[in-house]
Structure 1
Amino acid sequence: MRWLVLLLSLLPALMGAGLADPAASQTRLDEIVKTGVLRVGLTGDYRPFSQRDASGSYSGLDVDMAKNLADSLGAKLEIVPTTWGTLLPDLQAGKFDVGMGGISITLARQRVAFFSDPVMRVGKAPIARCTDKDHFATLAEIDRPGVKVIVNPGGTNERFDREHLKQAQIVVFPDNSHIFDELAAGHADVMITDAVETKLQQKLHPELCAIHPDQPFDFGELGYLLPRDTAWKLYVDQWLHTSVGNGTWGRLLATYLGN
């Protein structure tokens, strides 16, 4: 019985310790509501999700969604610049509360972070100048000596290329905002990226053609990147569910993608 007496004697102290540190139960959701600021990480180089112009202003589908999320919290939106290569380190360093802007859901990212429910199904597909589109329909046709495959660094596009291409030349171009201009100018032969992006870029660059975007090389989904905080993830998922249900998401898709 001595152990029971000891436990009962320690119980008030244990309970007091828990009550003395209310911050221990604070979630990211609580912090955002308390500070009145929602910090959203965006690369600003991936149309139609986010694009940063010369003045530093951001626009795009996920910029509008970020504003909607901030409004739902009664918070001010603060955009935090990030890159594809530093996306996870920036999240883990606490630089932003949610990463948006066309982020692929991967198991590697899932090991250290949470994702929202998927917002869009995608997959990797090629895009090339329309005069060459019949030459790059398959990975075998792309992965040939002398073929230049252009790619932006640090993200799933580069990871896909390095995993599947062994003979083609992979040309890393650092500025994702102008990478399709490079392709159109003939400085590379083909690019492999998310199918949704190929559909948009062929509208912005009439000389480029998306190649079988409705039959991509692989399966992929986009989502919002979150810290490992269950309460915050549940809130974002419910907000996203509501945004789809009330038509907000569909209207933005129509605005930025035309379908």
Structure 2
Amino acid sequence: MLDVVDINCDMGEAFGRWNIGDTDDATLMALISSANIAAGFHAGDPNLMDETVRLAAEHGVGIGAHPGYRDLQGFGRRKIAGTARELVNDIVYQVGAIREFARRHGTSLQHVKPHGALYMEMAVNRELSQIFLQYMRTVAPTAFVFCMAGSETDIAAREVGQPVIREFYADRDYDDSGSIVFTRDAGRPDPAAIARKVVRACKEGRVRTVAGSDIDIAFESICFHSDTLGALDIVRLMREALAVEGIRIAPVSQLRAG
């Protein structure tokens, strides 16, 4: 049973005057411990990156770069063809932006978590994950990489000694392989059902799949998405349910990675 977990959320996922989701980042920021901040390719712009990093710093929330495919129209949820080195160079560009905004606000980069379809591609693409981890070892050897347990990203990070935080997806479904069921529209899920799912995962290390099976799941951080409808209710009920079970929420610096 887990007695302490991180809660991470994708943040800054708007562009100019355009917003996604039904809850503002300032409200959610007070309820999480790690923020994955969009870096301009799938969402975000310089002004929004600056504001989101500032909010995170003010709330003591760990700052993470959230690089995605160069796909504003598709919100980074469409796969884009490219060589592994081309895609990692896109990641380098985006991580650099978030690092500089973090420096501007007197803080530092806690982690890097790829976004959407790029995250899913890295989970199964060994070459891409290895080149990404070579980059991380060079420029951010103490920053955490957020990924799914057992993914190629997880394996590559452990091979080179990069700190890893494994995630449990609160507002996404799982298949029997232990991978999340990728979707472009999660709709409006039931917050109470999500809270029950999260508590069971923390207490039993198990999750029910879309096929009706129960599988083992290992993680240190719980992820939910700011663009999921009802995100505020989701995180509030999760926190309440975890508190009832005596499970504490803490930044990843206080966790023992698996």
TM-score range relative to shorter protein: under 0.3
Q: Max radius of gyration: which structure?
A: 1
Whichever structure has more helix as a proportion of its residues is 1
**TM-score, normalised by the number of residues in structure 1:** 0.28
**TM-score, normalised by the number of residues in structure 2:** 0.28
